[in-house]
Amino acid sequence: MSSDVRLVLCGDEGVGKSSIITSFIKETFVPNLQPVLPPVSIPAEFLSVANSMTMTIVDTSSQPQDRQSLNREIRRANVILLVYSDHYTSERVTLFWLPYFRSLGVNVPVVLCANKCDLLLDMDSAEVILDEMIPIMEEFKEIESCIRTSAMEHYNVNQAIYLCQKAVVYPIAPLFDSKEQSLKAPAKAALQRIFFLCDRDQDGFLNDKEMNDLQQKCFDKTLDPFDLQEMKSIIDKADSGTVTEEGISQAGFLALNKIFALKGRHETTWSILRSFHYTDSLSLSDKFLYPRFDVPQSSSVELSPIGYRFFVDLFLIFDKDNDGGLNSVELNALFAPTPGIPTSWVKSQFPRTTICNEEGYVTLQGWLAQWSMTTFHDHKTTLAYLAWLGFEGSDKGSTTDALKITRPRRRRNTRPRVGKVDRNVFSCYVLGAHDSGKSAMLDRFLNRPFYPLYVPTIKPRIAVNSVETQGGKQCYMILEELGELEPAVLDNPAKLNECDVICYVYDSSNPDSFQHIVELRSKYKQLDRLPVVFAALKADLDKQQQRSDMQPDAYTRDIGLSTPIHVSSIWMPTMAELFVLLAEAAQNPSTATPVLEPEQKESPVVPIAIALGSITALVGAVAWMVRSGAVREMS
């Protein structure tokens, strides 16, 4: 919405447009005005609607020679005050002015104003509105409201300007269908989401405390108990059965906002909507969904403690059957105020990506792991869902309170001399030959049973779970099997920059398996800048001599790393040991990065030669000084 409301007064000559403007500004009638007043800017503090907006009031002429100027002003208007004052100008409202606005293609609210009502003192205001104005409003839906004024008596002039402000700041058109006498679908959807977020205990009703919390959030004041009971009576009268001992149902909440619209109090509904960051188009503000959150290059994003607490609370609220898992019904209920389960989750076949119970329902551990991975890969998605799900930071802070930025990663061409990495989420690419056991490794990472049948991985696969290292610290590991996208990912510097550790795996029972790793490292030299762990899978089978220039143990020692860990997918304790090794390699990159250039030790011959040279030079200097002094004495 613009920070300036542009109000344009239109109508036939002599209806009192200029007099209304001067009466509003000077609060008294001013005779003998010039035909058209210049535009007047009104500061926000002098306006009735508290929205920090200024208003520009524009007078116009209906003379044919001024038609081009009139068209320009109408197209620039945010709201139009259409003025008439007698039977003839009243007829012109429907025969000329309103069709004329439509012909210009403008779509702004119109306030209909019957001026000079001081000349018709014998006519009842309500009767005039009922007989003259209501039929026009029913025919032309762009008319927001109507009012009778007298510029001479300064009667209802301020109210007319207020209605124009209100028509812009609190438009009725997006909320209410006057023909159907019902809330419009987008307004219903927005209010249903607000009800959902305010229903903290998710029992389907807003109890007295929840209603008070809503009142406090939207209007910064508590709701008087008498007013609350009166509100409940009005709702129940309008829609019986929507108010019970438990509180106000969703249908009752919608009925309440319909009553606001019918009584012209739709600014109350707008106050509620805007407190929940809705725009005039009834969509959530982009600034609310995607607040500014600058992440330095090579840094990553994780959930903060209050972010984890928020997702823990969500899980506990929606696990209605208390079975420790979210089934499809509970997940759908949880994601009701959002566009649905995140697209990235659907593409990766969630909940197959994380920890589930025996029934296949995501557990709390898996739920937190999934959000940790989402935040790591695409923190903007997490920010948007925090907004949709109703996260509120401390003291009404931003959704960014739920996130934190890690220190940048350090990549070097030699083994980095850096200490432990202070992060909680790490990415690991699992690389190896076909049928080396990568998929089985990911299955075991998620505590899924081992299946001996080999199925080639074509699409990338991902798995995320928590790992507790030997120091007792818990972190989250994201294991990725790249499938057919492996060459593209390994050639992409941005993708490699997201990776914290490489797990090279080979089938210890297949003599041709290890050579694939040798060729991979030779082809993609950039991989050697990352910490790595070598793993010999299928250790339950007979170990085979590898057909390679160097055997795995000698190969890893040659690059300054530990020998491969021998594990089997059917021996879970060994797999758990591998996952801990991966986490520790990511946390301590200096212990697991290949040594590309052996550190050269300084030869002792060099400093000795330097010392001898210095001594020789010193002796020579002293001898020269002595000789020079002897020559001077002889002379």
295-326 per-position pLDDT tens digit: 998 889 999 999 999 999 999 999 999 999 99
Tokens of 134: 């209501």
Per-residue pLDDT for 102 more than 90?
Answer: yes
Question: How far is Cα 49 from Cα 52, in angstroms, rounded to an integer?
Answer: 8
Residue pLDDT, tens place only, 270-281: 999 999 999 989
C-alpha dist (Å) from residue 165 to 177, 211, 274, 334, 521: 21, 29, 17, 39, 68
Residue 547 lies in a domain: yes
| Contact criterion met (CB below 8 Å) for 112 and 97 | no
Considering the domain architecture, whether residues 354 and 463 belong to the same structural domain is answered as no
Question: How far is Cα 208 from Cα 135, in angstroms, rounded to an integer?
Answer: 41
State the CATH number of the domain containing residue 211. Answer: 1.10.238.10
| Contact criterion met (CB below 8 Å) for 58 and 39 | yes
Considering the domain architecture, whether residues 44 and 147 belong to the same structural domain is answered as yes
Considering the domain architecture, whether residues 395 and 301 belong to the same structural domain is answered as yes
Considering the domain architecture, whether residues 270 and 313 belong to the same structural domain is answered as no
Q: What is the DSSP letter of 133?
A: I
Among 145, 187, 151, 186, smallest CA distance to 166 is for: 145
Question: How far is Cα 615 from Cα 49, in angstroms, rounded to an integer?
Answer: 90
| Contact criterion met (CB below 8 Å) for 384 and 392 | no
Considering the domain architecture, whether residues 614 and 518 belong to the same structural domain is answered as no
Residue 290 lies in a domain: no
C-alpha dist (Å) from residue 266 to 26, 113, 201, 231, 322: 30, 20, 28, 16, 41
| Contact criterion met (CB below 8 Å) for 270 and 190 | no
Considering the domain architecture, whether residues 614 and 571 belong to the same structural domain is answered as no
Residue 308 lies in a domain: yes
Considering the domain architecture, whether residues 544 and 632 belong to the same structural domain is answered as no
Question: How far is Cα 295 from Cα 280, in angstroms, rounded to an integer?
Answer: 31
Range of lowest pLDDT (105-114, 326-335, 368-377, 594-603): 594-603
pLDDT at 122: 54
| Contact criterion met (CB below 8 Å) for 59 and 73 | no
Tokens 């609190």 -> residue: 170
Indicate the pLDDT class of residue 629, thresholds 50, 70 and 90.
very low
Residue 66 lies in a domain: yes
Question: How far is Cα 17 from Cα 73, in angstroms, rounded to an integer?
Answer: 15
Considering the domain architecture, whether residues 188 and 160 belong to the same structural domain is answered as no
Preceding amide of 351 cis, omega within 30: yes
Question: How far is Cα 184 from Cα 422, in angstroms, rounded to an integer?
Answer: 51
Considering the domain architecture, whether residues 564 and 488 belong to the same structural domain is answered as yes
Indicate the pLDDT class of residue 11, thresholds 50, 70 and 90.
very high
Chain center to CA of 543: 51
Tokens of 17: 């447009």
Considering the domain architecture, whether residues 151 and 11 belong to the same structural domain is answered as yes
Q: Give the end of a domain, one of 226, 261, 283.
A: 283
Residue 464 lies in a domain: yes
Residue 455 lies in a domain: yes
State the CATH number of the domain containing residue 117. Answer: 3.40.50.300
| Contact criterion met (CB below 8 Å) for 352 and 445 | no
Residue pLDDT, tens place only, 232-244: 999 999 998 999 9
Considering the domain architecture, whether residues 188 and 244 belong to the same structural domain is answered as yes
Number of domains composing the chain: 5
| Contact criterion met (CB below 8 Å) for 7 and 56 | yes
Residue 440 lies in a domain: yes
Q: Give the end of a domain, one of 283, 309, 329.
A: 283
Domain that holds residue 64: 4-169
Considering the domain architecture, whether residues 344 and 267 belong to the same structural domain is answered as no
What mean pLDDT is predicted for residues 564-589? 94
Residue 416 lies in a domain: no
